[in-house]
Amino acid sequence: MKKGKIAFFVTGNIHKFHEARAVLREFGISTAMLNLDITEIQDDDINAIAKTSAMEAAKKSGIPILVEDAGLLIDALKGFPGPYSSYVYQTLGTTGILRLMKNTGQRDAHFYSAVAFSETGKASSVKCFTGRVKGKIALKEQGKMGFGFDPIFAASDEPDKSFAEMTQDEKNKHSHRAKALRKFGSWFAKRYARSDL
């Protein structure tokens, strides 16, 4: 039986869900948020974390699942916090990162996103789509929108604004997450057109 074109996105982050829903709408894809209790493995590879989470969520739910994992990688800190960004944000926050960088003029950084989709929970069914945005760490927090490290990151192609100074639509023109989701959306829309997903 033909199902509606819908992506089930597992996340507990409502901001991330709203960003994903806006991007996937560009491809005629509806997005439903699921808050499943899944284990996030500790790994240096963001792709591996997203793939493992998607497989576990698909097994638990019995439906095709979309998961996204992301990290902020700072050159002066040798890629820290990277895949541990969520934990570091919860423990150190943006002010902690700014303190770590207090005496460095090297501010280059990038955000990386991995969007993983699993149809059956088996490794062979997992597809991964990635996005990256280069930028710099600001000298201080800027802006009240967005979430996570958005107030201290400015993309290279929009250097005068932090992600937290952008509307959701503006951020989705530049962000790592939006880039990864657009790759997924293009693939998913084509697959849906020729299957009974």
Q: Is 69 a catalytic residue?
A: yes
**Region for residue 146 given its phi and psi (left: phi exceeds 0; alpha: psi -120 to 50; beta: otherwise):** left
- Report d(CA 94, CA 27) in Å as an integer: 34
Between strands 126-137 and 153-155, the pairing is: antiparallel
- Domain-embedded: residue 73: yes
pLDDT digits over 125-178, tens only?
899 999 999 999 999 999 999 899 999 999 999 999 999 999 999 999 999 999
pLDDT, one tens digit per residue, over 20-61 is 999 999 999 999 999 888 877 788 899 999 999 999 999 999
Q: Which domain holds residue 172?
A: 6-193
The predicted model scores a pTM of: 0.91
Domain count for the chain: 1
If one compares 195 and 97, the residue with the highest pLDDT of the two is 97
Domain assignment present for residue 68? The answer is yes
In a domain, 173, yes or no: yes
pLDDT at position 194 is: 58
Q: How confident is the model at residue 1 (pLDDT cuts 50, 70, 90)?
A: very low
- Examine residue 184 and state whether it is found in any structural domain, yes or no: yes
Residue 73 has pLDDT above 50, yes or no: yes
Residue 123 in any domain: the answer is yes
> What are the structure tokens assigned to 123, written together?
């490794």
Q: Is the per-residue pLDDT at 124 higher than 90?
A: no
| Cα(35)–Cα(92) distance, integer angstroms | 25
Query: Is residue 121 over pLDDT 90?
Result: no
Q: Are 141 and 96 in contact (CB under 8 A)?
A: no
Helix (H), strand (E) at residue 53: helix 46-61
Tell which phi-psi region holds residue 67, choosing left (phi > 0), alpha (psi between -120 and 50) or beta: beta
Residue 195 has a pLDDT of 53
Alpha-carbon span 157 to 166, nearest angstrom = 13
Q: Which residue in 37, 43, 44, 69 is the catalytic one?
A: 69
CATH code of residue 128: 3.90.950.10
Residue 1: inside a domain: no
The answer to whether residue 197 scores a pLDDT higher than 70 is no
Cβ contacts of residue 93 below 8 Å, gap of 6+?
Answer: none
DSSP state letter for 68: E
